[in-house]
Structures are given as structure tokens and as C-alpha cells.
């Protein structure tokens, strides 16, 4: 292995170390505790070395935001890969969304700024669009299967996402014991939503 290749591998390893240490800080102390200085101290490198990989805390947060949307999209796709009816797939979509939010709470918080101010770059990540596309596809299939016409699909996707995010955010910000099992309120809201699509 030549020196250039070794140097590249060392840089990749260092970047992974920075990400993993950031993840530890976030999980143990929350997003507000994350800083370039804290990461540098934890892994035994100088601050300028960290800046070679991530120019700011916002850039690190953007990394985790993109990672979160990629994970959410993967889980939503897996949830609707069934032979169930389009209406049932909407229920699966909602359940998978809920499970993701409470299994990956720190990711969800930063993805949607739950109780956290976020930078503008995070609001426009392309990975968010992919998540929306999965929802759009499932909702579009349910509407097509119902035979109904004159339904505003964009409105219905926004409504679905609003229902899910609203219920998840309320739960995350509450002092209640968190559960990955979808709540009765969520199930009731999604039942009503599905009826609005197919009846």
C-alpha cells in the first residue's frame, strides 16, 4: 500500500471516529452538548483536525439529518413491501414512521427540529424528498385503488405527514413513558385518514 492510499484510509478512519464520537455525545448528553471542541477532546485530536472533516457543528448536524432521512425512507419502503391492500399499507406506513421516531429519537429530533433550533440547510436536504416520495406512492396507490377522482394527492401527503409528525412531536415533548408501539390516538387518526382516502 502506498503512502497516499494509507493517508486516505487514515482520513476515512478519522472521519468515522468523529461521527461515532458525535453519536455518543448526542445519545448521552443531547444535541445541545455537541461541539467541535468536545469531539476533539474526546478523541484526542486538535480542533483544526476536526475542521478538516466537518467545517462546523451545523455540518455535523446536517450529516445526521441526512442519515436519519435515509434510515426512515428505508424503513418506510420495507413496511409497504407486502401483498396487503393499499389501505393496509397506509397503516403499515404510519406504524413504521412511529417506530422509527421512537427507536431513533435523537435522529428524529434533529430531522424535524423537535425542541431544537435548526439551520436552513437541514430543512432542504434531498433525502427528505425521498421520504416524501415513498409516502406519495403509497397514498397514490390507495386513492387509485378506491376509484375516487379529484383528490389532491399533494394535500393528502401533507396531511398524512402532519398527522404523524404532530402526534410524534407531542409524545416526544411530553413527560410520558415513550413506547415504540403506536398509540391508540395514532391508530384512530390513521383510521380516519384512510377513510378520507377510500370512502
- Provide CB contacts within 8 A for 188, sequence distance 6+: none
Same domain for 98 and 174, yes or no, is yes
Amino acid 124: pLDDT: 62
pTM of the complete model beyond 0.85: yes
Please report the pLDDT score of residue 123 as a whole number. Answer: 55
CATH number, residue 126: 1.10.357.10
- What is the per-residue pLDDT for 161? 94
Residues 29 and 18 in one domain: yes
Task: For residue 157, give the nearest of 128, 123, 199 by alpha carbon.
Answer: 128
Identify whether residues 97 and 184 lie together within a single domain: yes
Q: Which of 194, 27, 165, 30 is nearest to 101 (CA)?
A: 165
Compute mean pLDDT per 10 residues along the chain, 199 residues long, and list them.
73 93 93 92 93 91 92 97 94 97 92 65 73 95 90 93 93 82 94 92
What does the pLDDT read at residue 115? 60
- Domain harbouring 39, CATH code: 1.10.10.60
Helix (H, G, I), strand (E, B) or coil at 96: helix
- Name the residue among 151, 155, 169, 160 with its Cα closest to residue 189: 160
Residue among 85, 98, 100, 110 at smallest CA distance from 189: 98
Task: Supply the pLDDT for residue 73.
Answer: 96
Domain that holds residue 139: 56-198
| 50 in the same domain as 80 | no
Judgement on whether residues 101 and 113 belong to the same structural domain of the protein: yes
Structural domain count of the chain: 2
Same-domain check for residues 115 and 172: yes
Co-location of 10 and 91 in the same domain: no
Amino acid at each position: 500500500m502506498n503512502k497516499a492510499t494509507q493517508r486516505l484510509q487514515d482520513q476515512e478512519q478519522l472521519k468515522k471516529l468523529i461521527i461515532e464520537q458525535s453519536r455518543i455525545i448526542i445519545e448521552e448528553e443531547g444535541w445541545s452538548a455537541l461541539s467541535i471542541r468536545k469531539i476533539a477532546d474526546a478523541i484526542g485530536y486538535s480542533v483544526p483536525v476536526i475542521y478538516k472533516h466537518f467545517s462546523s457543528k451545523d455540518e455535523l448536524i446536517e450529516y445526521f439529518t441526512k442519515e436519519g432521512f435515509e434510515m426512515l425512507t428505508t424503513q418506510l419502503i420495507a413496511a409497504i413491501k407486502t401483498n396487503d391492500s393499499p389501505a393496509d399499507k397506509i397503516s403499515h406506513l404510519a406504524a413504521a414512521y412511529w417506530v422509527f421516531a421512537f427507536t431513533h429519537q435523537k435522529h428524529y429530533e434533529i430531522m424535524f427540529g423537535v425542541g431544537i433550533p435548526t439551520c436552513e440547510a437541514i430543512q432542504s436536504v434531498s433525502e427528505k424528498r425521498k421520504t416524501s416520495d415513498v409516502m406519495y406512492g403509497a397514498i397514490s396507490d390507495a386513492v387509485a385503488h378506491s376509484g375516487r377522482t379529484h383528490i389532491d394527492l399533494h394535500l393528502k401527503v401533507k396531511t398524512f405527514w402532519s398527522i404523524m409528525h404532530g402526534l410524534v412531536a407531542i409524545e416526544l415533548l411530553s413527560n410520558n413513558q415513550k413506547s415504540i408501539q403506536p398509540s391508540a390516538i395514532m391508530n384512530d387518526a390513521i383510521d380516519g385518514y384512510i377513510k378520507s382516502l377510500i370512502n
